[in-house]
Amino acid sequence: MGRLNWRGSMSRLLVQRAGLGLLTLVAISALLFFGTNMLPGDVAAALLGQQATPEALHNIREALGLNQPAWWRYLRWLSGVLHGDFGVSLASGRSVAGALMPRLGNTLVLALLAGVISVPLAVGLGVASAMREGGIFDRLTSILSLMSISVPEFFIGYVLVVVFAANLGWLPSLAMINPGMSLGERLAAITLPVMTLVLVVLAHMLRMTRSSLLSVMSTPYIEMAFLKGLNRSTVVLRHALPNAAAPIIAVIALNLGYLVVGVVVVEVVFVYPGAGQLMVDSVAKRDLPLVQACGLVFAATYVGLNTIADMVAILVNPRLKIPR
């Protein structure tokens, strides 16, 4: 009976987390839509330019639905998004989904490569640093991670360009991707952006892994494990790491979300044809449907990863696995 009640409470907790994630995403969509529509200037006048006669302005406002109330346009836009229709680009006249999806694929490739490298490396270095607390390795990783956190990502990108592209000539300075490029050429083109992202997120995850483990190491049951004669590596891996998993998973999800959402600066630095670069170009052209679609996709990625992290942290928490 107790196990059934425990499973029911766990299920309710997971459903609550998923529901909160959906409500958060709906709220973000409303802020995104109304915020972009409150930007100064007239969209119709910006599109027509010197041809902005009163009659032409009236016609384009009618065509774009700008004469309708904002709440009604939001509901229509949200309904279209739920059916996979993000609208039509004002600058190119193409489908927003058709323009966004190839760029989003490029961004996801960049984020996936950076995540595959940074997550296991950060967790491994964090665990190794916690095992050697106060040693040379621990001090060195702490200093280097603090330096990496203190430097903005665009500066790291420029330093990598100067070292590996300008001075050594090993890698291209711009991450230009063409359809006819081979796999090796594509990997060489995106190496510097991936290195920049890895250096940025690696430090955060490493420091959180180390601090979470060390905070658990001071608890009484860890002291009891040491008194039983277990060595430090066994105590860290078998006893401390499972109980420190929740904050580690949370910070990993935050940084994975950053790899997709915060990649805008890195894509601009290396002129990488991703969704972040597309969003910057759309803001410059005042292409509101494309800006809204990019913002919503980024928000959905960020909220989704954090919601999944909350649910995984609940499932792996040893304290919640015991029926009460």
Residues paired with residue 88 on neighbouring β-strands, in sequence order: 95
pLDDT of residue 43: 56
Q: Is 176 exposed, middle or buried (0-12, 13-18, 19+ CB in 10 A)?
A: middle
Q: What percent of the chain has pLDDT over 90?
A: 0
- Structural domain boundaries of the chain? 87-321
**How does residue 155 score in pLDDT terms, banded at 50, 70 and 90?**
confident
Contact (CB, 8 A) for 114 and 274 = no
With a CB cutoff of 8 Å and minimum separation 6, the contacts of 102 are: none
pLDDT in tens, 194-224: 888 888 888 888 888 888 777 777 777 776 7
Query: How far apart are alpha carbons 33 and 168 in whole angstroms?
Result: 46
pLDDT of residue 217: 73
Query: How far apart are alpha carbons 147 and 233 in whole angstroms?
Result: 27
pLDDT of residue 2: 46
* The length of the chain, given as a count of residues: 324
Nearest to 287 by CA among 32, 35, 36, 31: 36
Give me the DSSP letters along 33-87.
HHHHHTSSS-HHHHHHGGG--HHHHHHHHHHHTTTS-HHHHHHHHHHHHHTT---
The C-alpha torsion from 30 through 35 and 37 to 42, rounded to 10°, is 180
pLDDT of residue 8: 58
Query: Which tokens in the block code for residue 154?
Result: 């665009």
Choice among 61-75, 178-192, 246-260 with the minimum mean pLDDT: 61-75
Domain 87-321, what fold? MetI-like fold (1.10.3720)
Mean pLDDT of all residues belonging to the chain: 76
Compute the average pLDDT of residues 237-247. 71
Compute the average pLDDT of residues 71-97. 77
Choice among 55-59, 131-135, 140-144 with the minimum mean pLDDT: 55-59
Q: Which of 88 and 301 is assigned the larger pLDDT?
A: 301
